[in-house]
């Protein structure tokens, strides 16, 4: 093998996966003894993980030009064993724009989280083992999205589930970590089994495991066994995406895992589930043309977004709240993808990307709070903005993004989702899709409400006595958050460029299944499809921002000239009465309005709903397993009837 | 008679589901997961079975169009699946041990600190 | 070439600073609140303050000392009112005045809906940053009011988008300038049967969005001491008062632009006066009159009212619009 051959970009996908597994191997082989440096107990292993993730990201970034811009589909046979007698006998990687899109998201999140981990994991034991699992998890997810072979997808699902469960239980002393890991393992294992069963049923029918070949064979030859396989596969990937009814697992797992892992579970694992569902519905079975299939995905997406946002409103733990929001946003993605229109898919993918960015940022901010104060209980925190100003600003950027406040990225993608769903409603004349628009809009406001709650009860309000000495987090952690925050702003300000560069090629790939099949060397009668992305509304974030800046500048100049803040505050203990808070003549005591007491007016009207939901999410693993079984049964029945 | 294998395998999978859903003992939950796994393994191996086929081991010269053997791929898949199943059991048992230390019980109804 | 860019820039700067930007917002907003206060007083058989009272209040507050509580987060506390005001003025720039619109093709009605969140959010964050428990309660109520108003507003806007879109042949239309153009061609939207419930619903949202009676639970002077503004004093408070005034103008002019649009005279100044007159009428009807005849609701009643009565009306309108009435 000569060098020129090795640098051919067709090898890059496998390199991207290999460096991560290689990193895991080297870290594991170097033994588990922590180094003596108190600022980095993992020693060089942390740097290996960082380099591996960075290399992986670079390899994938190098593919943007050929795959995204030129529209090439990279078909890569491992060991050059390809097709023989019309059947795929080798193991394949197949990278189209959709795969690459998800792979880029994953690699970015993994890289940023690795930067964060170095300083964040300082106080933990077993940090070397952490990095082994970390690289395994990253490699597993990347392998899943780049694989062209359905059994390999299953293997990667198992690797990532394993690593994720181990990392969830990693801080065994954290309240409920073991329990969360066990629940996740049980239901995740049911999901994996479902995927394996689906894979085997497909193999029994078509005697191949190659995705492209399956995609060329399945449509038109659907029988009950294929439908059964579809139901099993769908439920399997649903457990990975944590969509309803698997959302309680996400809440438990995200809450218990270290923040750097929560980023991966919410930003990366859920994406792998969404990717799996998209591969199934758009490519393998090509069922997205059916109204009933669209209905199913959109329905589940809408239910996810609404149920999880209300669950989040009722939470009093920072990370659990974020976890529920995570699934709520995944609901947006699923609903948009389920619309099966070009704009819908593009919007869904855009939102998936934004979700990785802002959710990662928020979890890292939660991790920063945990790192400094030792708790994430909303009832105990408060007033941290005076002690951690940078974290506060970064958190607010994340919070504005997820709540869809212009001009941040959450708004850009949600805005496309509203248009796509309303457009779909008008095109099909189906008032049900209109409901999706309304639910999405209302959910967005509820999301804002719960982030107001977080900012009031963590960063603003009054500072409790025990956190007087809290300091800002180390630079390494702020750097990681800063990268994500910058990406949140940039992707929000340039929606046109982002869609043109990333999401529209991916959406086109989802529409052009024929290309996916022929690139691998199989025959298909599917024609090439031209797709166009028509938007109904207008939104020019750059111009708006420009005007706002001019306006703000004007106001500020007037304000400063008018000696707006000419009186300085006093911060010493014996402050004059006039600098103390107003208590209506009562004694000045610590009186933070707790997170649980906010939005009473809303909760009171919905109290029956909240009581019901609270009882439903009982925390007993048997119940969650039962939900999984019922979901599987319903999926099977629905597929048998609908397809 | 291969249908019997299929029925059995799905029976095992459903039995596994049943065990996980109805048994409140953590160890029994783990047993349920294993049963589920065995069911799938049986299904895989049954799918690759050809009545009267030989073992799929040939040198290049021996392999002809007339060779009649069982499908080797599901066997390879089963091996993978068995390994994964063993890992799942090991991992869940280790979690069960730690949970027993922390909570002092194996009853799933009492291990529910995270809820709502 | 350079000269024309310069002139263009100057023109846009003029839009932002004078009309329909700051100066216009300042004068008209303050005038609207002044008229509102006078009207309420007259309806309650009081003499009431002079119409220019808001101006006096504003300038007097500006001269007062600004006190930042020791417990507050200084930067957020002081910046919040400014950001809120700037964001509001920018929204005003996007709302067409008859045929005239300073910046068209930049934002549409759903974007406006979201831009309206920014001033509210700024006020909330400023209140949160003050650390006062009164502000905490106030911001909680303000947020619930926002949630309450959001659903009917969304329904109204979707109904408008559908009505205009089906007439324009594009299926749906979110663009404000398109809506204005539609009204120029086909007469005001209020003349459509399906739009009447929507207009009523929007009118009911106006007092909620601007926080006036009976939906002023977030400020509720008598129980939570101005709520969100409890710790504000001096110039920042003046800016908040100004923001409130501009918000009254924004909501009423949005109402006018959406439902009472139509052919303009072609002379921007005259159009401005017409729109302002309509705004005064809307303020008198939906803010002053409602203020004078109702008592403050409890926050859970506010929420219930908006999500049942008002949303119901908007929903009726949406369904009617959907079936092309």
Q: Using the beta-carbon criterion (under 8 Å), do C133 and A593 form an inter-chain contact?
A: yes
Q: Is B57 contained in some domain? A: no
Partner-chain contact A181 B37, CB within 8 Å: no
> Which residues on B lie below 8 Å from A314 (Cβ)?
116
**Residue of A392, A582, A601 lying closest to C141 (CB–CB):** A601
Considering only the beta carbons, identify the residue of B73, B77, B91 that sits closest to A162.
B91
Residue A383 above 80 pLDDT? no
pLDDT digits (tens, 9 = 90+) for A504-540: 888 888 888 888 888 887 877 777 777 777 776 677 7
* Assigned domain for B63 exists: no
Largest Cα span, chain C: 61
For the stretch A197-228, pLDDT in tens is 999 988 888 888 888 888 888 888 888 888 89
Dist. CA A353–CA A139, nearest whole Å: 19
Is B94 inside a domain boundary? Answer: yes
The tens digit of pLDDT for each residue in C56-71 reads: 888 888 877 777 777 7
Contacts for A592 with CB less than 8 Å, ≥ 6 apart: A382, A383, A457, A461, A462, A464, C133, C136
Q: What's the average model confidence in pLDDT over A287-306? A: 86
User: Could you tell me if B73 lies within 8 Å of chain A, comparing CB atoms?
Assistant: yes
What the block records as the tokens of B13 is 């999978």
Those residues with Cβ within 8 angstroms of residue A187's Cβ, 6 or more apart along the chain or in another chain: A239, A246, A249, A621, A624, A625, A628
- Name the percent of chain A lying above pLDDT 70: 92
* Domain of A470, in residue numbers: 11-549+601-642
User: Which residues lie closer than 8 Å to A206 by C-beta, 6 or more apart?
Assistant: A213, A214, A217, A218
> Distance between CA A383 and CA A93 in Å, rounded?
50
Q: How many CA atoms lie within 13 A of A380 on its CB side?
A: 11
Cis upstream peptide for A245 (omega within 30°): yes
What pTM did the predictor assign?
Answer: 0.91
Q: What is the pLDDT of residue A287?
A: 80
Residues of chain A neighbouring C151 (CB-CB closer than 8 A): 438, 442
Tell me the pLDDT tens digit for each residue of B17-61.
Answer: 999 999 899 999 999 999 999 999 999 888 888 777 777 777 777
Q: How many CA atoms lie within 13 A of C301 on its CB side?
A: 8
Query: Rounded mean pLDDT of A251-255?
Result: 83
Residue A3 scores a pLDDT above 60: no
B109 occurs within a structural domain: no
Q: Which of B6, B15, B84 to mutate to test the interface with A (most CBs of A within 10 A)?
A: B84
Residues 6 or more apart whose Cβ sits within 8 Å of residue C167:
C182, C186
Peptide bond into C167 cis (omega under 30): no
Q: Which residue has the tokens 């740097």?
A: A47
Averaged pLDDT for residues A382-408: 85
| Chain A stretch 368-427, residues whose beta carbon is closer than 8 A to a beta carbon of chain B | none
Domain tally, chain B: 1
Number of domains in chain A: 1
Q: B-chain residues within 8 Å CB-CB of A136? A: none
Per-residue pLDDT band at A177 (split at 50, 70, 90): confident
Q: What is the DSSP code (8-state) at residue A65?
A: I
The C-alpha atoms of residue A93 and residue C276 are separated, in whole angstroms, by: 65
For residues B68 and B50, is the Cβ–Cβ distance under 8 A?
A: yes
Beta bridge partners of C97: C100
pLDDT for residue A482 is more than 50: yes
CA dihedral sign of residues A58, A60, A62, A64:
negative
Q: Does residue A382 belong to any structural domain of this protein? A: yes
Amino acid C137: pLDDT: 81
Per-residue confidence (pLDDT) for residue A1, from 0 to 100:
45
Q: Torsions phi, psi of C172, nearest 5?
A: -150, 155
Closest chain B residue by Cα to residue A308 = B116
Q: Do B36 and A622 touch (CB under 8 A)?
A: no
Burial of A64 (0-12, 13-18, 19+ CB in 10 A): middle
User: What's the mean per-residue pLDDT of chain A?
Assistant: 83
The pLDDT tens digits for C123-135 are 888 888 887 778 8
CA distance A119 to chain C (A): 27
Residue B74 lies in a domain: yes
Among chain A residues, CA nearest to B90: A162
Q: Which of B16, B80, B102 sits opposite A155 (nearest CB)?
A: B80
Cβ separation B84–A158 shorter than 8 A = yes
pLDDT at B19: 92
Domain holding B36, by residue range, is: 2-51+69-103
A180 close to B (CB below 8 A): yes
Over 80: is that where the pLDDT of A192 sits?
Answer: yes
Do the chains contact at C147 and A449, CB–CB below 8 Å? yes
Determine the residue among A411, A461, A495 to mutate to test chain C binding: the one whose Cβ has the most chain C Cβ atoms within 10 Å. A461
The CA-to-CA distance between both ends of chain B, in Å, stands at 49
- Give me the CATH number covering residue B6: 1.10.287.3510
Nearest-CA residue of chain A relative to C298?
Answer: A601
Cα–Cα dist C104/C18, whole Å: 17
Alpha carbons C291 and C287: distance in angstroms, whole number: 6
How many angstroms separate the first and last alpha carbons of chain A? 49
Residues paired with A95 in a beta bridge: A74
DSSP string across A220-235: T---HHHHHHHHHHHH
Q: What percent of chain A has pLDDT over 90?
A: 9
Question: Tokens 């002809």 — which residue?
Answer: B64
In a domain, A3, yes or no: no
**Residue A295, Cβ neighbours under 10 Å: how many?**
16
Half-sphere exposure of B91 (CA within 13 A, CB side): 28
Structure token digits, residue B5: 């294998």
Q: Do B96 and A181 touch (CB under 8 A)?
A: no
B–C contact: 3+ Cβ pairs < 8 A: no
Q: How confident is the model at residue B30, as a pLDDT?
A: 92
pLDDT in tens, A540-580: 777 777 777 877 787 777 777 766 665 555 555 555 666 66
Residue B76 lies in a domain: yes
Residue A637: the pLDDT is 92
Rg (CA), chain B: 20
Angle, helix A409-428 to helix A475-493, in steps of 10 degrees:
40
From the CA of C131, how many Å to the nearest CA of chain A? 4
Per-residue pLDDT at A468: 78
Report yes or no on B114 lying in a domain: no
- Hey, are the CB atoms on A193 and B21 less than 8 Å from each other? no
Determine the Cα angle at C117 with ends C116 and C123, to 5°. Answer: 110
User: Which of the four pLDDT bands, split at 50, 70 and 90, describes residue A633?
Assistant: very high
Which pLDDT band holds residue A235 (cuts at 50, 70, 90)?
A: very high
Q: Tell me the torsion sign for CA atoms C161, C166, C169, C171.
A: positive
pLDDT in tens, A414-471: 888 888 888 888 888 778 888 888 888 888 888 888 888 888 888 887 777 787 777 8
> Is the Cβ–Cβ distance between C227 and C142 less than 8 Å?
yes
Partner residue opposite C131 with nearest CB, options A383, A434, A570 = A383
List, for chain C, all residue ranges whose pLDDT scores fall below the cut of 50. none
Kindly report the nearest CA distance between residue B3 and chain A, in angstroms.
13
């Amino acid at each position: 093998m000569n060098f020129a051959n090795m640098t051919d970009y067709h090898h890059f996908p496998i390199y991207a996966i290999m460096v991560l597994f290689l990193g895991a191997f080297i870290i594991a082989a170097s033994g588990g003894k922590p180094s003596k440096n108190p600022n980095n107990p993992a020693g060089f292993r942390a740097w290996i993980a960082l380099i591996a993730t960075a290399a992986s990201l670079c390899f994938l970034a190098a593919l943007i030009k050929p795959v995204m811009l030129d529209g090439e589909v990279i078909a890569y046979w491992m060991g050059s064993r390809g097709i023989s007698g019309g059947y795929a006998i080798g193991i394949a990687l197949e990278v189209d724009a959709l795969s690459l899109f998800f792979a880029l998201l994953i690699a970015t999140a993994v890289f940023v989280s690795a930067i964060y981990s170095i300083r964040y994991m300082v106080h933990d034991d077993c940090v070397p083992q952490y990095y082994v699992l970390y690289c395994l998890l990253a490699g597993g997810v990347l392998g899943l999205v780049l694989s062209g072979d359905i059994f390999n997808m299953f293997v990667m699902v198992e690797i990532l589930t394993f690593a994720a469960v181990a990392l969830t239980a990693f801080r065994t002393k954290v309240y409920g970590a073991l329990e969360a890991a066990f629940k996740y393992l049980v239901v995740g294992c049911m999901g994996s089994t479902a995927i394996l069963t689906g894979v085997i049923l497909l193999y029994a029918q078509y005697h191949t495991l190659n995705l492209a070949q399956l995609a060329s064979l399945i449509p038109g030859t659907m029988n009950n066994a294929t439908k059964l396989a579809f139901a099993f596969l769908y439920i399997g990937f649903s457990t990975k995406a944590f969509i309803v009814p698997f959302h309680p697992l996400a809440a438990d797992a995200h809450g218990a895992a270290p923040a750097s892992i929560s980023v991966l579970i919410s930003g990366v694992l859920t994406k792998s589930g969404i990717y799996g569902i998209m591969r199934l519905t758009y490519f393998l079975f090509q069922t997205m043309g059916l109204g009933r299939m669209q209905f199913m995905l959109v329905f589940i997406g809408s239910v996810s977004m609404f149920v999880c946002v209300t669950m989040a409103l009722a939470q009093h733990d920072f990370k659990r709240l974020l976890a529920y929001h995570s699934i709520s946003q995944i609901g947006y993605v699923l609903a948009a993808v389920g619309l099966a229109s070009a704009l819908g898919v593009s919007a869904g993918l855009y939102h998936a990307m934004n979700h990785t960015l802002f959710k990662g940022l928020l979890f890292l901010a939660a991790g920063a709070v945990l790192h400094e104060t030792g708790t994430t209980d909303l009832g105990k925190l408060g007033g941290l903005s005076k002690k951690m100003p940078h974290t506060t600003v970064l958190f607010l950027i994340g919070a504005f993004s997820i709540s869809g406040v212009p001009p941040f990225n959450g708004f850009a993608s949600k805005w496309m989702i509203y248009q796509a769903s309303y457009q779909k409603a008008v095109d099909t004349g189906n008032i049900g899709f209109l409901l999706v628009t309304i639910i999405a809009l209302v959910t967005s406001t509820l999301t804002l409400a719960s982030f107001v709650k977080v900012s009031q009860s963590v960063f603003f309000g009054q500072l409790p006595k025990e956190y007087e000495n809290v300091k800002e987090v180390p630079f390494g952690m702020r750097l990681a958050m800063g990268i994500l925050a910058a990406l949140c702003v940039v992707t929000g300000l340039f929606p046109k460029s982002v869609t043109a560069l990333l999401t529209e090629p991916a959406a086109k790939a989802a529409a052009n299944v024929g290309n996916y099949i022929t690139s691998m060397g199989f025959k298909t009668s599917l024609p090439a499809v031209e797709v166009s992305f028509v938007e109904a509304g207008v939104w020019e974030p750059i111009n708006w921002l420009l005007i706002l800046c001019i306006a703000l500048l004007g106001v500020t100049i007037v304000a400063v000239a008018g000696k707006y803040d000419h009186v300085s505050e006093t911060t010493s203990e014996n402050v004059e009465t006039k600098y103390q808070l107003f208590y209506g003549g009562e004694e000045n005591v610590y009186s933070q309005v707790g997170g649980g007491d906010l939005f009473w007016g809303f909760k009171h009207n919905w109290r029956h709903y909240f009581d019901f939901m609270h009882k439903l999410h009982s925390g007993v693993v048997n119940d969650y397993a039962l939900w999984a079984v019922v979901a599987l049964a319903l999926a099977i029945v629905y597929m048998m009837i609908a397809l | 008679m291969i249908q019997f294998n299929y029925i059995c395998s799905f029976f095992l999978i459903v039995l596994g589901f049943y065990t996980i859903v109805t048994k409140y003992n953590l160890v029994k939950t783990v047993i349920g997961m294993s049963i589920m796994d065995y069911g799938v393994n049986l299904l895989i191996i049954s799918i690759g079975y050809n009545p009267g086929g030989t073992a799929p081991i040939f040198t290049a010269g021996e392999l002809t169009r007339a060779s009649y053997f069982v499908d080797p791929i599901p066997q390879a898949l089963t091996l993978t699946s068995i390994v994964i199943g063993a890992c799942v059991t090991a991992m869940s048992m280790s979690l069960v041990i730690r949970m027993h230390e922390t909570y002092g019980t194996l009853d799933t109804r009492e291990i529910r600190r995270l809820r709502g | 070439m350079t000269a024309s860019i310069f002139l263009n820039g100057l023109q846009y700067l003029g839009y932002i600073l004078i009309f329909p930007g700051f100066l216009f917002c300042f004068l008209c907003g303050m005038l609207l609140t002044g008229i509102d206060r006078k009207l309420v007083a007259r309806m309650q058989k009081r003499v009431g303050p002079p119409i220019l009272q808001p101006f006096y209040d504003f300038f007097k507050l500006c001269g007062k000392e600004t006190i930042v509580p020791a417990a507050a987060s200084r930067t957020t506390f002081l910046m919040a009112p400014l950001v809120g005001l700037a964001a509001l003025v920018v929204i005003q720039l996007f709302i067409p005045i008859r045929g005239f619109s300073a910046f068209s093709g930049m934002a549409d009605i759903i974007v406006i809906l979201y831009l309206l969140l920014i001033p509210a959010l700024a006020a909330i964050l400023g209140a949160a940053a003050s650390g006062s428990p009164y502000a905490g309660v106030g911001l909680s109520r303000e947020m619930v009011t926002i949630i309450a108003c959001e659903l009917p507003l969304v329904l109204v806007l979707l109904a408008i988008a559908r009505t205009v879109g089906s007439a324009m042949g594009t299926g749906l239309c979110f663009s404000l300038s398109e809506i204005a153009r539609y009204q120029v061609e086909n007469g005001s939207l209020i003349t459509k049967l399906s739009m009447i419930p929507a207009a009523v619903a929007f009118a009911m949202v106006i007092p909620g969005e601007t926080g006036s009676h009976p939906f002023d639970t977030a400020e509720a002077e008598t129980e939570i001491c101005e709520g969100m503004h409890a710790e504000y004093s001096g110039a920042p408070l003046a800016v908040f008062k100004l923001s409130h005034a501009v918000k009254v103008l924004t909501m009423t002019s949005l109402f006018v632009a959406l439902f009472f649009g139509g052919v303009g005279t072609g002379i921007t100044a005259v159009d401005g006066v017409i729109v302002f007159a309509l705004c005064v009428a809307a303020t008198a009807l939906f803010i002053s009159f409602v203020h004078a005849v109702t008592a403050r609701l409890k926050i859970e009643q506010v929420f219930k009212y908006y999500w049942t009565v008002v949303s119901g009306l908007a929903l009726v309108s949406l369904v009617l619009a959907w079936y092309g009435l």
